[in-house]
Structure 1
Amino acid sequence: MIFIKKANILQILLLLLVLSSCKQKKILEIDTDLKTPIATPIVIQQGPKLTPAYIESKKNSIIYFYNKNWPNKSANGGFLVAKNGQIIYEKYEGLANYKEKSAMTSTTPLHIASVSKVITATAILKLVSVKKLYLEQKVTTILKEFPYPDVTIRTLLTHRSGMRNYAYFTEKKGIWDRHKILSNQDILTIMATKDIDLEFRTNSRFSYCNTNYAMLALIIEKVTGLEYKDAMKEIVFKPLGMTNTYVFDYEKDKLTAVPSYKRNFAKVNLDYLDAIYGDKNIYSTPRDLLKFDNGRNSAAYLDQKLLQEAYVGYSNEHRGTKNYGLGIRMINWPTGKNFYFHNGWWHGNTASYVTLPEEKVTIIALSNKYDKRIYKVRKLAALFGDYPFHLEDNEKEE
């Protein structure tokens, strides 16, 4: 009799354990893309192996372009051109830290400024793909104090929300004490409590605005339950093997991150806007951004139907070739040829990210010493496809 009772108790405990295990498994299935540590990166299938003859033919033209724009070793950063995930040419020159005279290397993480927006947008698309978000979702359903009822995830991504730039409205008297470091949450609270009205009606036109991506970072935190820096590790950096990439943490990294400089190597000091993330504050390398580009354009990592929505221009109020997708700039020529890129500038940091999905080409240029020549690397697209850029001209770059 005692044996039977013990057996029954064991069966009940076993049943409870199974039910608990099933419940736990269900939770893990929901959260696996966000919180479960990723031991190995996703394997990205590269294109066909490039022949030595092909590499040499492109490499010579790239070297000529590089030396023409950065003669006498005048560059200070990293540069990379790749096709099918294979590096054709890369170069690292100058000083990562002028005071310490430390050399720039392939593993030196530099501030990529607004190229961070492409990565933030990609994290949002991943969350959409696992049904944590949807593009037409109202921001007010996620951030309860958000004061603009018509703004959606899509209008944040496409800079069509109508919100004002936090760098400008926080300068006004009585809005913010600029002796205090501003946070993403501070921006949201200010907009909710200081009567910061929209610049224009939501989705009526395009206006490039960093506030959009500061809010997207808060949304990532809200739906994952992780800080942005940790969420980006789990959603993007770890899966794609971006081992030298991180989100700048103001208190933790302000003394150790690679500094930025003016043209004469005068150091640019941090200010009250340097803790904002989502629109900027990702540090990375050309090689890691190549891994990112390979992953972003691969079905192994991101739903390609969803990615195609990113490569559509959403601002068509005025006739023209320039447009903006979901976190990516573009040029759409009447010939039907499309060019996708994003530039960045913050303090002395300049960055350019070019992705040519049709040709499977990636072009990256980063510098921590102010250098607008970085933006000229777009012209190298002409080596790989029918892009109307001219390697020899001296046109003014944006």
Structure 2
Amino acid sequence: MEMNFIKNANILQILILILVLSSCTKEKKKVQLSDALLPKSTLPKMKPLTNEHPKLTAEYINSKKRSVESFYNKTWPNNSANGSFLVAQNGQIIYENYEGYANKRDKRLITSTTPLHLASVSKVLTATAVLKLINAKRIDLDQKVNTILKEFPYPDVTIKTLLDHRSGMRNYAYFTDRDKTVWDRHNRLTNQDILTIMATKDIGLEFKTDTRFSYCNTNYAMLALIIEKITKLPYKEAMRQIIFKPLGMKNTYVFDYERDKDTIAPSYKGNGVEIGKDYLDAVYGDKNIYSTPRDLLKFDRARNSGVFLNPKLFKEVFEGYSNERAGEKNYGLGIRIINWKTGQNFYFHNGWWHGNTSSYITLPKEKVTIIALSNKFTTRTYQVRKLSRLFGDYPFPLGKGEKEE
């Protein structure tokens, strides 16, 4: 009798344990893990921002659309643009335009789904992947780079000084161009080549780390290698898994020289002459992401959502870290900043590579996104910043012959 009682009690305990574990499993499925709790084998992923409120009224959209369209027609008169353009608020497109040739040879036109080279706007996306890894506690913002890339030769350089361009490193385009004993320009340069050259060819720093700002593409080429080292994936695949796929950026990819060199939209000089490839075209992280304004709109809204990063790190992204000289221009963690004396701040990033020019503008307070991309060289791409005046107190000076709408 006693043995049966003990046996039945044990069975009852096991049943209760199974029920508890089952309940816990169901509950865990309901809980969305934060980046910091993700298992080491899982990559942190961007989360799309949908159903933004308030919805813009038709009257508001039409009013802003008239002003934006007027600006567009004055900036690129007589259909002279060769690129993509979009203005949106609360994730809703107010105005967009697509003009010109993606490829003049086969008369392929630029449409809303045509990926164009982002040039240095690629840095914003590279920084975003790094920030997600920091947020997930896979790396630290102030971590020394040589603890990740073992052959990295500059002991004081941190991930932060790569992100904010205060590392003091020299631009790889210069130290590989001027001395044939450093690099043979008949060979395509890679990110790993840059690291190896700096480690073995006595490439000194331009200045002591974290003493001043100097915009340098080498910083972001190294950040791409860090992404690869931490994720154990090629940069293009890590970017796809962390950013592109989760956000539904179906027309965005990292340029692969061998795979894509004959299919991408080439770039052109201002006179329409096609620009060929050179030995620097295989380096990524600082450039070499192709995308569309609609995809970048998805990206921008996700970056400005409340779940992109923890509040402390998110605030640090938009801090200016180069204050050794008085002035309005500054740089955060992968974003350019203008700080006006009025207290108003403007966040953006421009790009220029071969004939490609790009401008990405994000106005977090007004929830406005402005994108301009061109694969035919023009500095007019950068003028779109003036559209910020339509949405807030952004005191950009009026150009010659311009007036407020």
The TM-score with structure 2 as length reference comes to 0.88
Quick one: which amino acid aligns to residue 190 of structure 2?
Answer: S
Contact 2:49-2:305 at 8 Å conserved across structures:
no
CA RMSD of aligned residues (A): 2.0
Contact 2:49-2:298 at 8 Å conserved across structures:
no
2:15 is matched with none
Q: CA deviation at 1:42?
A: 3.6
> How many positions carry a matched residue from both structures?
369
Quick one: which amino acid aligns to residue 33 of structure 1?
Answer: L
What CA distance in whole angstroms lies between the structure 1 residues aligned with 2:159 and 2:277?
30
Quick one: which amino acid aligns to residue 92 of structure 1?
Answer: Y
Contact 1:117-1:278 at 8 Å conserved across structures:
yes
Quick one: which amino acid aligns to residue 81 of structure 1?
Answer: V
SS in 1 for 2:267: coil
1:303 is matched with 310
2:216 is matched with 209
2:258 is matched with 251
What CA distance in whole angstroms lies between the structure 1 residues aligned with 2:221 and 2:340?
31
1:31 is matched with 41
What are the residue-to-residue correspondences of 1:1-398 with 2, within 5 Å? Answer: 29-33=39-43, 42-171=48-177, 172-393=179-400
Quick one: which amino acid aligns to residue 305 of structure 1?
Answer: K
What CA distance in whole angstroms lies between the structure 2 residues aligned with 1:191 and 1:209?
14
Runs ≥4 residues deviating over 4 A: none
Quick one: which amino acid aligns to residue 144 of structure 2?
Answer: K
SS in 2 for 1:67: helix
What CA distance in whole angstroms lies between the structure 2 residues aligned with 1:322 and 1:389?
13
Q: CA deviation at 1:45?
A: 4.5
Contact 1:382-1:390 at 8 Å conserved across structures:
no
What CA distance in whole angstroms lies between the structure 2 residues aligned with 1:234 and 1:185?
22
Quick one: which amino acid aligns to residue 98 of structure 1?
Answer: K
Q: CA deviation at 1:33?
A: 2.3
What CA distance in whole angstroms lies between the structure 2 residues aligned with 1:242 and 1:147?
36
**After superposition, what is the alpha-carbon deviation per residue over 1:291-334, rounded to whole angstroms, capped at 9, x for unaligned?**
11001111233334322211000000000000000000010001
Contact 1:41-1:238 at 8 Å conserved across structures:
no
Contact 1:44-1:298 at 8 Å conserved across structures:
no
The TM-score with structure 1 as length reference comes to 0.89
Q: CA deviation at 1:188?
A: 0.1
Contact 1:139-1:146 at 8 Å conserved across structures:
yes
Quick one: which amino acid aligns to residue 366 of structure 2?
Answer: E
What CA distance in whole angstroms lies between the structure 2 residues aligned with 1:314 and 1:333?
15
SS in 2 for 1:124: helix
What residue ranges of structure 2 are gaps of 5+ in the alignment? Answer: 1-20, 26-32
Q: CA deviation at 1:28?
A: 7.6
What CA distance in whole angstroms lies between the structure 1 residues aligned with 2:309 and 2:103?
36
What CA distance in whole angstroms lies between the structure 1 residues aligned with 2:186 and 2:58?
56
SS in 2 for 1:365: strand
Q: CA deviation at 1:41?
A: 6.3
SS in 1 for 2:40: helix
Quick one: which amino acid aligns to residue 108 of structure 1?
Answer: T
The percentage of counterpart residues that share the same residue type is: 69
SS in 2 for 1:87: strand
Contact 2:47-2:308 at 8 Å conserved across structures:
no
What CA distance in whole angstroms lies between the structure 2 residues aligned with 1:33 and 1:106?
30
